[in-house]
């Protein structure tokens, strides 16, 4: 069974600085997707960024980028120029490409606070 581990329950960063959230996963699959979801105080889950395992290039979305290390099974999220609106829970998730989205597995989350 696949597992996703987020080792940092809570983190904080000063506004405008950079922060990196860690995620490791365990799988025997070769092809899969990795995701970072954001859950702000409104509690609606929002997809931040998505990485396909067969792509070596790290995904980027504006101020958000990932460091995907397939051999190490590591998938960290870097937030640059942190903003107060980035304050949220961040969940790392894994989904094999075989089968449907019911196989999506979530980590326990990292609570990020951006301080003014």
Binding interface with other proteins (CB under 8 A)? 4, 9, 33, 35, 42-47, 50, 91, 93, 95, 97, 100-102, 104-109
Strands (E), the chain: 3-5, 10-14, 19-21, 24-26, 32-39, 46-52, 60-61, 64-69, 74-79, 88-96, 105-106, 110-115
| 24 vs 80, beta carbon nearer other proteins | 24
Q: Please report how close the Cβ of residue 66 comes to other proteins at its closest, in angstroms.
A: 16
| 14 vs 97, beta carbon nearer other proteins | 97
Q: Please report how close the Cβ of residue 56 comes to other proteins at its closest, in angstroms.
A: 19
Q: Please report how close the Cβ of residue 69 comes to other proteins at its closest, in angstroms.
A: 21
| 50 vs 78, beta carbon nearer other proteins | 50
| 93 neighbors 51 (Cβ within 8 angstroms) | no
Please choose, from the candidates 99, 104, 14, 98, the residue with its C-alpha nearest in 3D space to the C-alpha of residue 50: 104
């Amino acid at each position: 069974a696949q597992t996703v581990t987020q080792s940092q329950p809570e983190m904080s960063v000063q506004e405008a600085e950079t922060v990196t959230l860690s995620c490791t996963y365990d799988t025997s699959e070769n092809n899969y997707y990795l995701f970072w979801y954001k859950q702000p105080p409104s509690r609606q889950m929002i997809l931040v960024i998505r990485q396909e395992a067969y792509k070596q290039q790290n995904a980027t979305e504006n101020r958000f980028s990932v460091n995907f290390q397939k051999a190490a099974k590591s998938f960290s999220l870097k937030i640059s120029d942190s903003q107060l609106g980035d304050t949220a829970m961040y969940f790392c998730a894994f989904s094999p490409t075989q089968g449907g989205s019911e196989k999506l597995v979530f980590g326990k989350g990292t609570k990020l606070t951006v301080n003014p």
